[in-house]
């Protein structure tokens, strides 16, 4: 996977890394153009950023989780990052979540902005059952192996009085008129109120920009001067591609 590194500080590297996953048919540099990186710097947060070119082909050929782990997360851990967060928009949010399914505890936190959360028919089934608090995941053989069948039982872990220690902190943001909002609301009910953010509008950059700034104001990230930093090294870009399934309702 190709990556582009943006340090929080031009001279020192932080111990915290934000890994950005774009939406379908979007480019990693869009995060810079839309002010996501500058928002981190404006808040004087000691968190470096890594923009990942995780295009839709990784979802189509079902290699997203493996490549993200091998090409990005493991090498960054080896470079000394002690806290790693995945930040994904739309299909990128879905990618961050299914990576957690494949590699539990590999990251410390996830920010999912307007994420694709699977098929509406499954969401409708959960809503009919009264939401995630009362829905019971089917047992036994399933009619298909789509990842959303594992995603919703995973979300139920956040309802536990004391979630598992390796369960990453999960923050959700979405527009109230987003085409995926019905599923977003189901997930929102399983999360603490302080980890759910909404805005007016739909599924586009103006909403995502506002949501990111709101989420960023409360994320437990270190501030400049209060975190151990190391001299910045411009790391080589990983370019290999060598398994997460491509949802049928792919969107930006």
Region 129-153: what's the mean pLDDT? 86
Burial of 46 per CB tally in 10 Å (0-12, 13-18, 19+) = buried
pLDDT of residue 235: 34
pLDDT of residue 247: 52
- CATH code assigned at 188: 3.40.50.1820
Residue closest to 167 by CA, chosen among 178, 179, 155: 155
Evaluate if residue 188 carries a pLDDT over 90: yes
Q: Does residue 73 belong to any structural domain of this protein?
A: yes
User: 210-233: per-residue pLDDT in tens?
Assistant: 999 999 999 999 998 654 445 444
d(CA 228, CA 241): 33
CB-CB contact of 140 with 79 (8 Å): no
User: 7-43: per-residue pLDDT in tens?
Assistant: 998 777 899 999 999 999 999 999 999 999 999 999 9
Enclosing domain of residue 122: 3-136+145-219
Q: Does residue 249 belong to any structural domain of this protein?
A: no
Q: What is the mean pLDDT of the chain?
A: 88
The model's pTM is 0.88
Look up tokens 């890994």; give the residue: 19
User: 76-107: per-residue pLDDT in tens?
Assistant: 999 999 999 999 999 999 999 999 999 999 99
Q: Does residue 243 belong to any structural domain of this protein?
A: no
Overall domain count for the chain = 1
User: 161-175: per-residue pLDDT in tens?
Assistant: 888 889 999 999 999
Beta strands, E only, 1-108: 3-6, 12-13, 16-21, 47-52, 83-89
Residue closest to 16 by CA, chosen among 39, 50, 43: 50
Q: Does residue 163 belong to any structural domain of this protein?
A: yes
Q: Which residues of 97-133 are buried (b: 16+ CB within 10 A; e: fewer)?
A: bbbbebeeebbbbbbbbbbbbbbeebbeebbeeebbe
Region 195-200: what's the mean pLDDT? 98
Burial of 240 per CB tally in 10 Å (0-12, 13-18, 19+) = exposed
């Amino acid at each position: 996977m190709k990556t582009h590194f943006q340090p929080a500080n031009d001279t020192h590297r932080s111990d915290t890394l934000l890994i950005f996953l774009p939406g379908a048919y979007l480019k990693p540099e869009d995060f810079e153009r839309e002010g996501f990186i500058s928002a981190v710097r404006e808040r004087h947060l000691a968190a470096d950023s890594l923009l990942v070119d995780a295009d839709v082909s990784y979802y189509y050929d079902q290699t997203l989780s493996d490549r993200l782990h091998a090409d990005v997360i493991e090498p960054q851990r080896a470079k000394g990052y002690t806290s790693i967060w995945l930040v994904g928009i739309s299909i990128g949010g879905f990618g961050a979540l299914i990576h957690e399914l494949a590699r539990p505890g590999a990251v410390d936190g996830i920010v999912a902005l307007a994420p694709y959360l699977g098929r509406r028919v499954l969401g409708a089934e959960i809503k009919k059952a009264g939401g995630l608090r009362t829905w019971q995941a089917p047992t036994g053989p399933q009619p298909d192996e789509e990842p959303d069948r594992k995603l919703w039982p995973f979300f139920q872990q956040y309802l536990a009085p004391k979630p598992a220690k390796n369960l990453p902190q999960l923050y959700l943001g979405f527009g109230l008129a987003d085409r995926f909002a019905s599923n977003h609301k189901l997930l929102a009910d399983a999360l603490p109120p302080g980890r759910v953010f909404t805005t007016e509008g739909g599924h586009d950059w103006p909403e995502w920009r506002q949501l990111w700034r709101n989420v960023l104001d409360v994320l437990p990230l270190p501030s400049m001067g209060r975190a151990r930093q190391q001299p910045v090294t411009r790391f080589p870009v990983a370019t290999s591609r060598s398994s997460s399934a491509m949802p049928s309702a792919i969107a930006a």
